[in-house]
């Protein structure tokens, strides 16, 4: 597997390369995927919208296919203001810098798509954004996402008994491992670009992900069973390094903020619409066997205490209640 090259990073770092400066207004973006993925399309749309809204010259340099690494790398680049100026990122990949940010993508947070959309079109997540800016110097300029995350594995998992002891990869935020431990699985945090090989070599038996990414990176080749746990509807902030943003002229800053919001709406509609379609494509092509999970409601009861104590440890009980009550 060669889709994660990561080769471009060293050169960019030595090129004194926080991209934006007054003379050369180039904004560099990063995607782990090719041009067919909803994240890439959303970042392309973001660039078009900034261009439309801004009178001056600005160039976008979007690097695809994991050329600049994976999200866990991007977050460090954004925080330091080097190599990457903007991207789309799972909150759970930003946990090291802002421990409360993974609350917005913890499993079983949203009842359904209407709930998810209501939360994302409100300003209820503003306190988490403020913490991200303060602690990581990363700005949320919009929200995309909308894929449904399910379990994908090298052998069928159709009920709690089969989930018991399931060696699975989770994202780096501790809350992710806590939730899947509460479901009696055996989670470990593994870098996204190591997941394919880890399944292939039997280090893990599977992981959890959404259709767009499963299809784009061909994870079905090593994990051909997908179980509809529907444990998360993704929340994916479109983010920009604060260090980059502050260097932009004011009218470009305004264009970035407006474009981020609009690109988010575009991306949410796109990924939500394509999600079921992509799952069906993989099933039709016999790349995936899709299974229901017996007794999904039981899972909810098992994770709520974990969500509660996480929120409590962050002093975010009110916030979690506000999200649940929407
Ligand atoms: C999917 O590719 C995306 O949701 C991406 O944002 C995550 O980082 C990735 O999964 C992951 O599981 O790490």
Helices within the chain (DSSP H only): 8-14, 38-53, 71-80, 113-120, 126-136, 160-163, 174-182, 195-200, 211-216, 242-245, 250-284, 296-314, 317-324
Atom in ligand 1 nearest the alpha carbon of residue 169: 12
The arithmetic mean of pLDDT across residues 107-124, rounded, is 97
Q: How is residue 153 written in tokens?
A: 């594995």
User: In percent, how much of the chain has pLDDT > 70?
Assistant: 93
Q: How is residue 12 written in tokens?
A: 């960019």
Q: β-pairing, 167-170 with 206-210?
A: parallel
Q: Kindly give the distance from the C-alpha atom of residue 92 to the centroid of ligand 1, in angstroms, as a whole number.
A: 9
The pLDDT value recorded for residue 4 is: 46
Nearest CA to ligand 1 atom 8: 90
Q: Kindly give the distance from the C-alpha atom of residue 244 to the centroid of ligand 1, in angstroms, as a whole number.
A: 24
**How far, in Å, are 168, 182, 220, 267, 290 from residue 279 at the CA level?**
20, 27, 11, 18, 8
Tens-place pLDDT, residues 257-277 = 999 999 999 999 999 999 999
Atom in ligand 1 nearest the alpha carbon of residue 145: 4
Categorize the per-residue pLDDT at 316 as very low, low, confident or very high, splitting at 50, 70 and 90: very high
Categorize the per-residue pLDDT at 321 as very low, low, confident or very high, splitting at 50, 70 and 90: very high
pTM of this structure: 0.94
Cβ < 6 A, ligand 1 pocket:
71, 90, 93, 171, 192, 209-210, 213, 234, 236
Q: Kindly give the distance from the C-alpha atom of residue 214 to the centroid of ligand 1, in angstroms, as a whole number.
A: 10
Atom in ligand 1 nearest the alpha carbon of residue 88: 6
Which residues have a Cβ under 8 Å from the Cβ of 113 and sit 6 or more positions away? 146, 233, 272
Nearest CA to ligand 1 atom 5: 90
Atom in ligand 1 nearest the alpha carbon of residue 217: 2
Q: Kindly give the distance from the C-alpha atom of residue 171 to the centroid of ligand 1, in angstroms, as a whole number.
A: 8
Tens-place pLDDT, residues 35-48 = 999 999 999 999 99
Q: How is residue 31 written in tokens?
A: 């995607």
The pLDDT value recorded for residue 67 is: 98
User: In percent, how much of the chain has pLDDT > 90?
Assistant: 93
Categorize the per-residue pLDDT at 243 as very low, low, confident or very high, splitting at 50, 70 and 90: very high
Under 8 Å between Cβ of 234 and 210: yes
CA distance linking residue 272 with residue 147, whole number of Å: 6
Tens-place pLDDT, residues 9-18 = 555 554 444 4
The pLDDT value recorded for residue 2 is: 36
Q: How is residue 133 written in tokens?
A: 């800016």
The arithmetic mean of pLDDT across residues 242-263, rounded, is 98
Q: Terminal CA-to-CA distance of the chain, rounded, Å? A: 43
Q: Kindly give the distance from the C-alpha atom of residue 252 to the centroid of ligand 1, in angstroms, as a whole number.
A: 29
Atom in ligand 1 nearest the alpha carbon of residue 70: 8
Q: How is residue 58 written in tokens?
A: 């600005």
Q: Kindly give the distance from the C-alpha atom of residue 289 to the centroid of ligand 1, in angstroms, as a whole number.
A: 21
Under 8 Å between Cβ of 68 and 9: yes
Nearest CA to ligand 1 atom 7: 90
Residue with tokens 């041009």: 35
Tens-place pLDDT, residues 177-200 = 999 999 999 999 999 999 999 999
ipTM: 0.99
Residue 285 pairs in a beta bridge with: none
Report the chain's mean pLDDT, rounded to a whole number: 94
CA distance linking residue 76 with residue 49, whole number of Å: 26
Under 8 Å between Cβ of 255 and 54: yes
Q: How is residue 228 written in tokens?
A: 């509809």
Atom in ligand 1 nearest the alpha carbon of residue 208: 12
């Amino acid at each position: 597997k060669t889709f994660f090259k990561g080769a471009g990073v060293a050169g960019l770092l030595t090129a004194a390369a926080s991209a934006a400066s007054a003379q050369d207004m180039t904004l560099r973006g990063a995607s782990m995927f090719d041009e067919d993925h909803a994240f890439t399309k959303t970042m392309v749309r973001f660039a078009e919208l900034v261009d439309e809204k801004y009178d001056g010259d600005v160039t976008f340099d979007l690097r695809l296919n994991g050329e600049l690494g994976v999200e866990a790398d991007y977050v460090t680049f954004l925080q330091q203001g080097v190599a990457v100026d903007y991207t789309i990122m799972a909150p759970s990949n930003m946990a090291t810098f802002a421990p409360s940010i993974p609350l917005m993508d913890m499993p079983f947070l949203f009842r359904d798509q209407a709930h998810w959309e209501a939360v994302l079109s409100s300003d209820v997540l503003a306190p988490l954004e403020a913490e991200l800016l303060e602690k990581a110097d990363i700005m949320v300029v919009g929200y995309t996402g909308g894929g449904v995350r399910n379990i994908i594995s090298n052998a069928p998992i159709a009920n709690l008994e089969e989930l018991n002891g399931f060696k699975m990869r989770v994202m780096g935020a501790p809350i992710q491992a806590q939730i899947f431990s509460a479901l009696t699985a055996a989670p470990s945090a593994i870098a996204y670009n190591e997941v394919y090989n880890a399944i292939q070599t039997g280090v893990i038996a599977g992981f959890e992900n959404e259709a767009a990414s499963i299809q784009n990176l061909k994870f079905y080749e090593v994990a051909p069973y997908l179980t509809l746990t529907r444990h998360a509807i993704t929340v994916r902030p479109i983010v920009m390094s604060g260090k980059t943003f502050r260097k932009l002229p004011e009218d470009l800053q305004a264009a970035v903020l407006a474009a981020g919001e609009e690109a988010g709406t575009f991306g949410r509609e796109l990924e939500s619409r394509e999600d079921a379609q992509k799952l069906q494509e993989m099933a039709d092509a016999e790349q995936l066997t899709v299974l229901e999970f017996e007794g999904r409601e039981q899972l909810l009861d098992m994770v709520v205490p974990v969500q509660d104590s996480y929120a409590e440890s962050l002093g975010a009980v009110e916030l979690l209640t506000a999200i649940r009550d929407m």
